[in-house]
Structure 1
């Protein structure tokens, strides 16, 4: 998927289909067929102050299917589990634990609840303010992936699958995440902001570093040049982790956060992608 789409669709029907899926997330094809309208082609008298309007009708099933086929071929949309989604593709990666396997992959709509829970748990440690804001936004919006004229956003998740031959403690399916967020401002099109987190019970297992490597590889292939992350200075563990992964400390904002009634500096971290 292009994370900086131009949206220069020659066919207005393709434009409307893409915008509907982008706005609503995972969309069944029959819902799309009911929702999409195109100009009928002729002008109609309108009994209001404006002189004319164009009648909106459903496109034929053949025309709608042609538009969908073009969007899939060009890499804008994909169809999985009987639903249309904005295309985010990346090969799955695994991390082996003593009691199971963690799979790292692009997030899907059915991951939403586990994703929000994981972010809430990590944010509850009061060291990851941005994660809480991302979780709030995710609960308000209907689509995990956004790629429009204003902003691009993508999530990757780490999901745990227990080994059936072991008697491991029950765990949430989503044990970690990585979120890339990028504005479409021309002067910032080369940058993206990342949040990454892992539930406490599976830390120090290589999941966080694998998630970060996975997300940065995807960002590089999507033509981002620089990735940033801002953290409270009190989150020494995360700052040390990023430093070990090659990130640079680029500056600080004094007294940027108020945590437990105490002011805390914000540390600005960044890494350039080759």
Structure 2
């Protein structure tokens, strides 16, 4: 089982060392095993010739290598953490899906910490002109946070990315490097009464639109939300973002209402359209 947004695994850990390992990885996004071994500390009693007034004296020390390795392997086996590209990460379920593109291949997969800059850049590109307020806000929060994917019971979000890989013999403006060209983001509310719902944002780099990437990202995010046990997925958009509203409605989303004059964009009051789907 992989970690789900809105659900803290804190009560599932067998000891404080497991909790400390998970919290360090979750807080930092992607951690090399050597860094983990040098950063994790536990309290240990320290012998003293004269006892402290409390009768106890502890110091923070690195755990034995065997204990650290055992706890890390257990967290991997239980589906809380995973290791890829030489780094330990929060486990996020999802099978990669490939889409053909005229100049290469687009792969939709669980996001990695290394995708963060590409995700933020794509979000800002899509939100240009204040047409996607929520996405712009998420991008701002990512700039301030320490990790892309969070699952700690307070901050709860996951990302999946669409990554373009050009053909090896093709000529591309970016020199042939792969890059993030789309995202889907699922964010769970903290309130228990709203735990059956999640907010979703999704977008595609304008250069890569009309290739089925947006629909595939949306389907990927909804499938993940359903598998994770969420019942309702929602998204709010400025009424001026007509293309995005039309896109969601074409994919079965329903309008639930309007917040009149919710935004002030370029000196004009703009309504907010609330849309949702029960996948």
With structure 2 as the length reference, what TM-score do the two structures score? 0.91
Corresponding residue to 2:116 among 108, 112, 116: 112
Write the mapping of 1:189-228 to structure 2, written as runs, cut at 5 A. 189-228=195-234
Distance 1:61 1:260 in 2: 58
Determine the C-alpha separation between the residues in 2 that align with 1:188 and 1:111. Answer: 29
SS of 2:30's partner is coil
Runs of 4+ in 1 over 3 A off after TM superposition: 41-47, 50-54, 164-172
- Asked whether 1:254 is paired with 2:260, we answer yes
Q: TM-score, normalised by structure 1?
A: 0.92
Residues 43 and 55 in structure 1, CA contact (< 8 A), matched pair in contact too: no
Question: Using the alignment, how far apart are the partners of 1:35 and 1:99 within structure 2?
Answer: 43
1:181 paired with 2:187, answer yes
Q: Residues 196 and 53 from structure 1, CA distance in 2 versus in 1: closer, same or farther, beyond 3 angstroms?
A: farther
**Structure 2: distance between partners of 1:165 and 1:39:** 55
Question: Separation in 2 of the partners of 1:81 and 1:138?
Answer: 22
How many angstroms apart in 2 are the aligned matches of 1:75 and 1:103? 23
Q: d(CA) in 2 for partners of 1:67 and 1:227? A: 35
Q: Is the partner of 1:183 in helix, strand or coil?
A: coil
Aligned to 1:5: 8
Are the counterparts in 2 of residues 77 and 85 from structure 1 also a CA contact under 8 Å? yes
Partner of 1:36: 40
Displacement of 1:123 in angstroms is 1.1
Q: Secondary structure at the match of 2:124?
A: helix
Residue in 1 that maps onto 2:30: 26
How far apart are the structure 1 equivalents of 2:185 and 2:217? Answer: 10
For 1:144 and 1:98, the matched residues in 2 are separated by 30
Unmatched runs of 5 consecutive residues or more in structure 2? none
Deviation of residue 89 (structure 1)?
A: 2.5
8 Å Cα contact 1:43-1:52 kept in structure 2: no
For residues 177 and 138 of structure 1, the distance between their equivalents in structure 2, rounded to whole angstroms, comes to 13
CA contact (8 A) 2:108 2:217 kept: yes
Q: 1:46/1:34 Cα in 2 relative to 1: closer, same or farther (>3 Å)?
A: farther
Instruction: Kindly indicate whether residue 248 of structure 2 is the aligned counterpart of residue 245 of structure 1.
Output: no
What is the alpha-carbon distance in structure 1 between the residues aligned to residue 67 and residue 21 of structure 2?
12
Distance 1:52 1:253 in 2: 59
